[in-house]
Amino acid sequence: MKKFRNIGNPIYSSIAVVVFIIVWEIFTRAKNIKEYILPAPSAILNEFITSGDLLLHHSMVTMTETVLGFILGLVLAILLSLLMSSFKLFRSIFYPFMFLSQTIPIIVVAPLITVWFGFGLVSKLIVCVLVVFFPIALNLTEGLSSYDKDLEELLMCMNASKLQIFMKLKLPSALVHFFSGLKIAAAYAVMGAIMSEWTGAESGLGIFLTRSMKSFRTAAMFADIAIISIFSILLFGLIKLIEKRCIKWNVKG
């Protein structure tokens, strides 16, 4: 088992990425593949250099939408989850709607939101909130309901208050579920912002991607996709780091 101990070492992943990029560069040059079909990594890097200011502008717009939407969705998800875990009436009313909402693709809802709220920031935030809200709310609600009932009875016998039971039992039990929802939301938050921009916007990585596609600037499209991926990875990594600090007993590595 020792030889598999470091299989998740980031050094190996970095080496694999570098090797993949080198092979990609050699393959595109050896086969003389047209840039509009499959650009070489060097062409994508050149696009970062030549369109750096423009990419930065669009990136800031999308990142602002994503961060604000993520925070709003997180706050709303926590509030509703607390209500549903505390009051059976709220759970009976809202829980079925939360499941039903996931049967409707967000790409179908986004154009309607744009029609109702316009092409400004509000419609973008609503789409991001919808993408972020449900994974967190569903997981946190399940987590707040999955605590040990025997321990709850023991705490009640010890005259613990409802707040003490929540802080000492329910909340720690829910943290694993909560961070699972957060990581899912982080993976889709940027996607929500991009899809909202596709339905109507003046700037953002979604708009840059669409314009690059229409002008057959494939290298620019790859540069755009790279930024989207990097931002999603950074957001996911930040949540993973917070998770390790909050629940060290459950997270290895």
Q: Does residue 184 sit within a domain?
A: yes
H/E segment holding residue 71: helix 52-86
**pLDDT of 248:** 65
38, part of any domain? no
Sign of CA dihedral 28, 34, 39, 40: positive
- The dihedral through the CA atoms of 211, 214, 217, 222 has a sign that is positive
Is the confidence at residue 159, as pLDDT, over 80?
no
What share of the chain in percent tops pLDDT 90? 34
**Residue at 227 is within a domain:** yes
Average pLDDT value for residue range 56-66: 93
- Among candidates 239, 205, 210, which has minimal Cα distance to 57? 205
Helices 41-50, 52-86: crossing angle, 10 deg rounding = 90
| Higher pLDDT pick, 3 / 52 | 52
List the one residue out of 1, 44, 61 whose CA is nearest residue 217.
Answer: 44
Q: Residue 163 sits in a domain of what CATH number?
A: 1.10.3720.10
pLDDT, residue 238, reads 92
Can you tell me the distance from the alpha carbon of 253 to that of 9, in angstroms, rounded to the nearest whole number?
A: 10
Q: Which pLDDT score, from 0 to 100, does residue 8 have?
A: 55
| Distance from the first to the final alpha carbon of the chain | 16
- Mean confidence (pLDDT) of the chain: 85
Q: Which of 47-56, 77-86, 145-154, 235-244 has the lowest mean pLDDT?
A: 145-154
Worst-scoring range by mean pLDDT, 20-29, 102-111, 186-195?
102-111
Measuring CA to CA, which residue among 109, 110, 77 is closest to residue 94? 77
pLDDT band at 4 (very low <50, low <70, confident <90, very high): very low
| pLDDT score, position 156 | 78
The predicted pLDDT at position 110 comes to: 85
Please identify which residue in the block is written with the tokens 């059976």.
88
In a domain, 44, yes or no: no
Q: Has residue 249 got a pLDDT over 70?
A: no
Of 196, 85, 82, 63, which is closest to residue 130 (Cα–Cα)? 196
Residue 189 lies in a domain: yes
**Does some domain include residue 109?**
yes
The encoded tokens of residue 204 equal: 């953002």
Q: Specify if 103 maps to a domain.
A: yes
**Could you report the per-residue pLDDT of 71-85, keeping only the tens digit for each?**
999 999 999 888 888
The number of domains in the chain is 1
Q: Which residue type, as a one-letter code, is found at position 50?
A: T
Of 10-14, 50-54, 67-71, 127-131, where does mean pLDDT reach its minimum? 10-14
User: Looking at the domain assignment, is residue 229 inside a domain?
Assistant: yes
Instruction: Determine the structural domain holding residue 198 and report its residue range.
Output: 52-246
